[in-house]
Structure 1
Amino acid sequence: MGPVDWLAVGLAALAGAACIHVWYDAVMPLREGQSRVGVLAVVLAMLVVATMMGHNFARVGAERLAEKPWLFWMMPVGFALWFVAPALVIAQGRLAVGWKERALDAAGWVLAFAVMGTVFWGRS
């Protein structure tokens, strides 16, 4: 296992938080009675995700990532598609959220994870 790029972890967390913030403002405006999650909470949550990504990339190793740079997107987007999106769809179904809003929410998270992978790629 190689070293974790902690600067990339921090930058990816900020980029992912910014991405999801812009996504929610542009694509998913608030409905009556809804409120935004605080910015600090979003950044901290994305820091947890970015830490996991940084550890994952360190486990793969710089040499393998240099040989296969698509892994910078395949791993985070795959995680978002196969774990995060289904969890959102199931959880929001319990809250009577419509399918369109669930799909848009999941798409925002897939995009945020792709942006975070791009940050790690840029730092490699």
Structure 2
Amino acid sequence: MPTAQGTSVRQTARLFTFLAGDAPLVDGPSDEAMLDLLTKAVQRRHTFLDRDTTVQFGLLQSKIRFGSVHTGTPTQQAVASEAAIVQENSTGSRFVLVFQDLPFANSASIKPVSQVFDAAIAAFLFP
């Protein structure tokens, strides 16, 4: 099915990495405006990855998608996606995290994803 905003996880991660970095993606004011919108999304709790209070990172900026795939039953069709710039709590190191089209039963169904990201960050920082 055609889409106007379709992108892969890799493309989304690249976009968010540019936004999180020092080199401008478009230009300074445009980048700041986009980061401001993504920060407001976190402030309004439009996030999935921070539903797990045991993770060692905090969300700085986030963009979520809740939608459906076009196959299976309605319950099987519900999926969630998120792209986020996060900061590891003890070091202040920033990371970009992205997941796409994860089956979504309820908010708790995202918890294992946040735990995988948390463990990957810890393994990277503290090998």
| TM-score strictly above 0.5 | no
TM-score normalised to structure 2 length: 0.28
